[in-house]
Amino acid sequence: MSPLPLPQLPQHYIDQMKQLLRQEADAFLHSYDSQRAYGLRVNPVKWERHAAARNLTMRQFQLRSVPWCEEGFYYNEHSRPGKHPYHAAGLYYIQEPSAMSAVALLDPQPGEFILDLAAAPGGKSTQIAGRMRGEGVLIANEIHPQRAKILSENIERMGVANAIVTQADPHTLAAKFPMAFDRIMLDAPCSGEGMFRKDPGAIEEWSPDHVEACAARQWDIIQAAVTMLKPGGTIAYSTCTFNRRENEDIVDKWLAAFPEFRLAGTERIWPHLAEGEGHFVAVFQRTPAGEGGVLEHYAASHSVRPSAKSKGRRAPGRSERGTVRTADVHASFRHFEAWADEHLPGLALPSGTPLLFGEELYWLPQGNAAAMAFLNGGAALDRLRVPRAGLHLAHVRKNRIEPAHALALSCITGEQAALTLQAAADDARIAAFLRGEAIALTSDSEPVRAKGWMLVTVDGLPLGWGKASDGMLKNHYPKGLRSL
């Protein structure tokens, strides 16, 4: 299949790339005439546990390994993995192959306290979470409300139990979390030159002035980011653009302004040299000893002064919608525990504490001692917009528990539930479930008399909840996710 015709590339952009690449410029510009690569990145924990689904995915989508990411694969364009039930079950995430390089170089580890500062739509956050393997705490931040909502949905779909989604500007977070994080991912908003082939609309937005505006914005975000990295920590700065102004020039400015950082390495992926749209990554490490002037530099240039401690302690459950008494939080959680003992006996929550927002019960992850100190039982979330305060456990309604969709997807296998509906990917019941339809429960043409909450699984992968009664399964798949 030949690529779709692109709008005319701006002459300023062509001149820029010729100056940057010189003798390679023609090959680079001709890459726009080639078909782009398509990629997906698997969820490591579920991928390892579900051999049948893994083998079917490899065959059906004709997967080939992405060389710079061990959990990344190229897929056949026409196979449409995003329409398969495994996608809804969080077995994999559709992601441009070049973009997988940044987290691979950041090298997150289980048990760490990690920040993804500009996280939407969630490709890098879910990749970080996969490498953390449910241990530690990930804060995924996105300032724009609609994009933060999409980020939350993708983290939920991938079954991540140890992530908190915040919606804040970087400087607000810097005041909350000075020198807090072991690693930070900063996939900076950029001019999107690597998006031209994927999104031709990005061509129309490009201009030299736009590049300069992006560089200025990147520098502003960096000044907040560096204050949040602990001594000895690692930060990866990445863009999906090609010009030096947003890449090497930013690196040079960074090292000049913050000598306590050293450059651990850079990587560029070019679309004329590799299968991908292109990416730039620079990895910095902060010296282990001392603050080195970062906080002083930040306080001198910004009105918000970072503080290592929150004033006062936040009662669990307090939000912009009001305050929930601590006793109510614990009563709701005990009620949930009784429900889980009956319906989800294999539930294994990470280290954390319950939070209650109105009728919504969450499990706030706590992680290591450093993360626990900064989160302070949820106090650090005060006066922040928090679309997802950890794992959504349940809706608590008049002493009645309705398990959250996120809880189903956080399960690794259907064996964790007391009741399961097990079906193959091509079973008509799976398509009906994803459409929101009720399902008849039969075995050898006889109705199944099971009663209670049932976990629906596709080839063993948890997909969502239904409630069984009188031989029927009432569908609780979220209305906003249902297929037509």
Alpha-carbon torsion, ordered 93, 236, 133, 333, to 10 deg: -90
**CA 298 to CA 312: how far, in whole Å?**
24
- Find out whether 142 is annotated in a ligand binding site: yes
- Find out whether 24 is annotated in a ligand binding site: no
- Find out whether 124 is annotated in a ligand binding site: yes
The alpha-carbon radius of gyration of the chain (Å, integer) is 24
DSSP per-residue string spanning 136-201: SEEEEE-SSHHHHHHHHHHHHHTT-SSEEEEE--HHHHHHH-TT-EEEEEEE-----GGGTTT-TH
- Find out whether 187 is annotated in a ligand binding site: yes
**CA 68 to CA 53: how far, in whole Å?**
24
**CA 293 to CA 258: how far, in whole Å?**
8
- Find out whether 182 is annotated in a ligand binding site: no
End-to-end Cα spacing for the chain: 28
Please list the active-site residues.
Answer: 240
Three-state DSSP class for 261?
strand
- Find out whether 317 is annotated in a ligand binding site: no
User: Cβ–Cβ contacts within 10 Å for residue 266, how many?
Assistant: 15
Whether residue 155 contacts residue 391, with contact meaning beta carbons closer than 8 Å, is answered with no
- Find out whether 331 is annotated in a ligand binding site: no
- Take residue 214 and report the two structure tokens written for it: 């992006």
What are the distances in angstroms from CA 303 to CA 116, 172, 173, 254, 367?
Answer: 23, 11, 13, 21, 31
- Find out whether 121 is annotated in a ligand binding site: yes
**CA 364 to CA 161: how far, in whole Å?**
9
DSSP per-residue string spanning 12-44: HHHHHHHHHHGGGHHHHHHGGGSPPP-EEEE-H
Q: Which residues are annotated as a binding site?
A: 118-124, 142, 169, 187
Q: Binding site membership for S-adenosyl-L-methionine: which residues?
A: 118-124, 142, 169, 187
